[in-house]
Amino acid sequence: MPDVVTGLLGRFSFSITWILAAGIAIASGSIFLVLPASGFRIDLEHLGAGVAAVGLVLFALAAVTIGVTMATLSTALYQILEGYLWWRPSWRHAGIERHQWKRQHLAWRIQELKEPGTLEADLLREKLRRYPANEKQIAPTAFGNAMRAFETYGADRYHLDSQTLWMELQSVIPRELQAEVAGSRVGIDFFVAMVYLSTVYGASALALASWDSISSSHQRNVILLVQGVVFLLPVPFLCYRAAIFATAYHASAVQAMVNIGRLKLAEALALAMPPGFEEELVLWRTLCRFVDNRTAVVPLQELDKFRAQVQSEAVGKYVSRRPTRRQPSATPRRSAEDAPQ
């Protein structure tokens, strides 16, 4: 029973950040948008406890519904900000070329520094770490490059695609590191959710301002207009930049997961880690091809080469532990007739 409860809480905890962001947006919209636009004023003294309880229940249900929905669609929400979904090919190509130039410019500035150990050099390296090491993996947006920087770390260093073997790596790393990997994603999820919620907030403020101006003899509500402009332009941009900065901690956690987990991953998959680094690259490259590309012909002899040592050792241990059969004696047993009288 405790394992079941822990599993349910673990799955629910993935949505807590999105629910929190949705609750903040709903509460802010109710206080600063709906009530001023409708002209309602709440008299707390005459407000019944039952009405307040119903309002809290509706608020909680709305926050949970919106938060869980956004958590379920988080992959699509991320891909929009990364520049993959609903982007035209021409837009993607232009964004990729722009960030390729930015990455090259950062590398050039680091090389031109006369004192590489200065604060300016460290800041430039920090910006450069938000780009993937492989220029072919450059994404069309800054957020997409910050995500690709740690998503491609395993493939760049060990030819181990951490995205393909994500669940396998999660299952073998220590629990402390599992908690760090999961917790480091909270900040990114929160600011990604706020990008979309603040945009909806600003659009709602402008819509309510337009409706209020029509219903009030064309008298514009300045407060709603200001909120609409602020939450449509600077607030989503600031949340977007905050999401980029939040990827640094998650990148460190994913890097540790790959560095530590690859050893236990080989053991869990009954593969022997080779002594040489070049052979290790062959091991992970072949395994990722075998797991990810299900239609292509993968040379399984490469994997058999890494399994042979494990199997031979296992067979040797099994043979050494088997009980030896008792050999028959060379001297035949004497019968009852041959027994001495």
User: Between residues 38 and 91, which one has the greater pLDDT?
Assistant: 91
Percent of the chain with pLDDT over 70: 77
Domain contains 250: no
For residue 172, give the amino acid letter.
Answer: V
Position 149 pLDDT exceeds 50: yes
pLDDT digits (tens, 9 = 90+) for 22-52: 999 999 888 887 766 555 555 545 555 666 6
Contact 77/70 with Cβ under 8 angstroms? yes
Domain contains 138: yes
Q: The tokens of 179 are what?
A: 């908690």
DSSP 47-88: --HHHHHHHHHHHHHHHHHHHHHHHHTHHHHHHHHHT-SS--
Classify the phi-psi angles of 328: left when phi > 0, otherwise alpha if psi is within -120 to 50, otherwise beta: beta
How confident is the model over 213-221, as a mean pLDDT? 62
Domain contains 94: yes
For residues 179 and 196, give the distance between their C-alpha atoms in angstroms, rounded to a whole number: 27
For residue 256, give the amino acid letter.
Answer: A
| Residue ranges making up the domain that contains 202 | 2-145+188-242
Domain contains 219: yes
Position 163 pLDDT exceeds 60: yes
Domain contains 213: yes
Of residues 269, 10, 294, 254, the one with CA closest to residue 147: 254
pLDDT band for position 292 (50/70/90)? Answer: confident
Number of compact structural domains in the chain? 1
Domain contains 226: yes
Domain contains 305: no
Long-range contacts of 215-223 (CB under 8 A, 24+ apart): 221/36, 221/37, 223/36
How confident is the model over 301-306, as a mean pLDDT? 78
For residue 310, give the amino acid letter.
Answer: V
How confident is the model over 180-187, as a mean pLDDT? 92
Residue 37: the pLDDT is: 59
Q: Which of 47-61, 71-85, 114-128, 315-329 has the highest mean pLDDT?
A: 71-85
pLDDT band for position 259 (50/70/90)? Answer: very high
How confident is the model over 238-244, as a mean pLDDT? 97
Residue 309: the pLDDT is: 53
Position 290 pLDDT exceeds 60: yes
First to last CA, the chain: 74
For residue 123, give the amino acid letter.
Answer: L
Q: The tokens of 31 are what?
A: 């206080």
Q: The tokens of 134 are what?
A: 């492989």
Domain contains 78: yes
